[in-house]
Structure 1
Amino acid sequence: MEYDDDDFLMISGIQHFSFCPRQWGLIHIDQVWNENIKTMEGNIVHENCHNQDFIEKRGNVLISRGMRITSKTLGVTGQCDVVEFHRDDNDGCHLYGHDGLWKPFPIEYKRGQSKQIDADRLQLCCQAMCLSEMLSVPIEEGALYYHETHRRERVLLTENLRKEVKEMLDQMHHYLQTGYVPKVRPRKGCSSCSLKELCLPVICKKKSVDSYYNAVFEDDLL
Structure 2
Amino acid sequence: MNEFQVTIEPYPEETEKNKWLLRVTDIRQYAYCPRVVFYEYCLSGVRPLTYKMLQGLEAQHRVEELEKRRSLREYRLTEGVRHFHVALTSERLGCTALVDLVVESGEGNQRRVTPVDFKMSRREPGTHFRLQLACYGMMLEEIWQVPAPEGILYLIPLKQAVRVNLDRRLRKDAERTLAEIREMVLHERMPAPTPHRNRCVDCEFRRFCNDVW
The TM-score, its normalising length taken from structure 2, stands at 0.78
Which residue identity does 1:184 align to in structure 2?
A: P
How far residue 27 of structure 1 moved from its aligned partner, in angstroms, is 1.9
Which residue identity does 1:196 align to in structure 2?
A: R
Structure 1 stretch 170-179 or stretch 143-152: which is displaced more?
A: 170-179
- Which residue number corresponds to residue 214 of structure 1? none
- For 1:186 and 1:105, the matched residues in 2 are separated by 33
How far residue 104 of structure 1 moved from its aligned partner, in angstroms, is 0.7
- Which residue number corresponds to residue 134 of structure 2? 125
Q: Identity of aligned pairs, percent?
A: 24
> Which of 167, 190, 195 is the equivalent residue of 2:200?
190
> Are the equivalent residues in 2 in contact too, given 1:49–1:82 (CA < 8 A)?
no
> Are the equivalent residues in 2 in contact too, given 1:49–1:66 (CA < 8 A)?
no
Query: 2:128 aligned with 1:115, yes or no?
Result: no
Query: 2:82 aligned with 1:71, yes or no?
Result: no
Q: Secondary structure at the match of 2:177?
A: helix
Query: 2:29 aligned with 1:16, yes or no?
Result: yes
> Please, what is the CA RMSD of the aligned residues?
2.7
- For 1:119 and 1:4, the matched residues in 2 are separated by 31
- For 1:64 and 1:5, the matched residues in 2 are separated by 30
Which residue identity does 2:92 align to in structure 1?
A: T
- Which residue number corresponds to residue 38 of structure 1? 52
Alignment of 1:70-219 (within 5 A): 70-92=89-111, 103-115=112-124, 117-187=126-196, 188-203=198-213
- For 1:48 and 1:124, the matched residues in 2 are separated by 21
Cα offsets for 1:166-194 (capped at 9, x unmatched): 11001111112222232334523111222
How far residue 6 of structure 1 moved from its aligned partner, in angstroms, is 4.4
- For 2:61 and 2:152, the matched residues in 1 are separated by 18
Q: Secondary structure at the match of 1:83?
A: strand
Which residue identity does 1:27 align to in structure 2?
A: E
- For 2:129 and 2:189, the matched residues in 1 are separated by 24
Higher RCO (C-alpha under 8 Å, 6+ residues apart): 2
Q: Secondary structure at the match of 1:90?
A: helix
Structure 1 residues 117 and 32 mapped into 2: Cα distance closer, same or farther (>3 Å)? same
Q: Secondary structure at the match of 2:146?
A: coil
Alignment of 1:44-55 (within 5 A): 44-47=58-61
How far residue 73 of structure 1 moved from its aligned partner, in angstroms, is 1.0
Structure 1 residues 121 and 137 mapped into 2: Cα distance closer, same or farther (>3 Å)? same
Structure 1 residues 48 and 69 mapped into 2: Cα distance closer, same or farther (>3 Å)? farther
> Which of 81, 85, 98 is the equivalent residue of 1:62?
81
- For 1:106 and 1:89, the matched residues in 2 are separated by 19
How far residue 124 of structure 1 moved from its aligned partner, in angstroms, is 0.8
Cα offsets for 1:55-101 (capped at 9, x unmatched): x9988411010011121111110111000111232232xxxxxxxxx
Q: How many aligned residue pairs are there?
A: 188
Which residue identity does 1:107 align to in structure 2?
A: V
Rg (Cα) greater in structure: 1
How far residue 34 of structure 1 moved from its aligned partner, in angstroms, is 2.1
The TM-score, its normalising length taken from structure 1, stands at 0.75
- Which residue number corresponds to residue 27 of structure 1? 40
Structure 1 residues 5 and 145 mapped into 2: Cα distance closer, same or farther (>3 Å)? farther
Moved over 4 A (4+): 3-6, 48-51, 56-59
